[in-house]
Chain A
Amino acid sequence: MATSNEYLPVISKLLARTKERKIDWKGTFESTTFICALEGQYSFEIEKGKTARTSTPYRSLTMKDSGQAEVFVANAFVPSNESAIENDNLFALLDELYEQARRIALDIDKKVNEVTNILDKI
């Protein structure tokens, strides 16, 4: 069984390309889930949520192929005293990816610039 850490290189590259604004993330009906498609062959879904039982915050990234089969799912929980270092590293990566995806999908940079201009004028 593959572990999430095996996919760290792919996730890191996805984050790097997202930071370069080369990936077009889109918002969904769930306000804390964002999706993107790559070359019409693969898609990613990044999600921020809390577990139903313990309300522990988590980040989840799902990669699917063109047949919509799950290639991998990487889950990480918010770091705690007991959490493994692998979980903590993955959480940091997924959390940053989530924030970057959100910024792109919701056009946050443009909105912040606009509100800054408005504030400058009033």
Chain B
Amino acid sequence: MIYDAGLGLSQSMFNLIASIASIAGLGISIWTLIVATGARRAANEAREAVRKGNATEEFKNLTRIADEFLTHVEADQVPAALVRARDLMSAMSLASSRYGRFLTVDGRNTFEEAYGQISIISRSLSANGAPSSPQQKDKLLKICHGVIKDMSNETGTLFSHLEEPEET
């Protein structure tokens, strides 16, 4: 009898300890899951922040090359302008494919059209050299200014969008 009672008590104790352990185990699992989810979210946010930083630098670089291109066009330095046009088109293509998702549809259209404009100017400078008349030069500069203005506007919009705090 005493043996049975002792056995029953120790079994109850064992069950109690097992229940506590299983509840504690569940708690630890949930806590681990929460920590892991938070860590993953933090890692994703850090990765996204790096991408946004890279995108900002990439688009700043585009505006810098575009300015240099304009400087060479203004000075009728055709070979230098052609080199910068090529650099600009290459950088635009890269930026557009890597970071296009940060741009709006209108923004992407602007960059597509800007690429087309620079490409046509580059082909014309390559085939015909510097503009032969003041009217041609005026037209060329107007288009270059327009392209750079549009690109700067879109880059500015992109920066303000990237700097906005994200909704949680």
Contact = CB atoms under 8 A, between A and B. Distances in A.
A binds B: yes
Chain A, interface size: which category?
10 to 19
Given A29-B139, A29-B143, A66-B97, A43 B116 contact: yes
A39 B139 contact: no
A43 B112 contact: yes
Contacts of A51: none
B108 A28 contact: no
A30 to B, nearest CB: 5
Contacts of B89: 68
B117 A29 contact: yes
Contacts of A66: 96-97, 100, 108, 112
Interface in A14-38: 26, 28-30, 33, 35-38
B161 to A, nearest CB: 15
Interface residues of B, number: 27
B108 A40 contact: yes
Contacts of B100: 40, 66
A30 B115 contact: no
Interface in B67-110: 89, 93, 96-97, 100, 103-110
A45 interface: yes
A120 B82 CA distance: 48
A37 B112 contact: yes
A38 B113 CA distance: 10
A41 interface: yes
B110 to A, nearest CB: 8
Interface of B: 89, 93, 96-97, 100, 103-113, 115-117, 119-121, 123-124, 139-140, 143
Closest 9 CB pairs of A and B: A40-B108, A37-B112, A37-B109, A35-B116, A43-B112, A28-B120, A29-B121, A40-B105, A37-B113
19 contacts: A26-B113, A28-B116, A29-B121, A29-B139, A35-B113, A35-B116, A35-B120, A36-B113, A37-B110, A37-B116, A39-B108, A40-B108, A42-B112, A66-B96, A66-B97, A66-B112, A67-B96, A68-B89, A68-B115
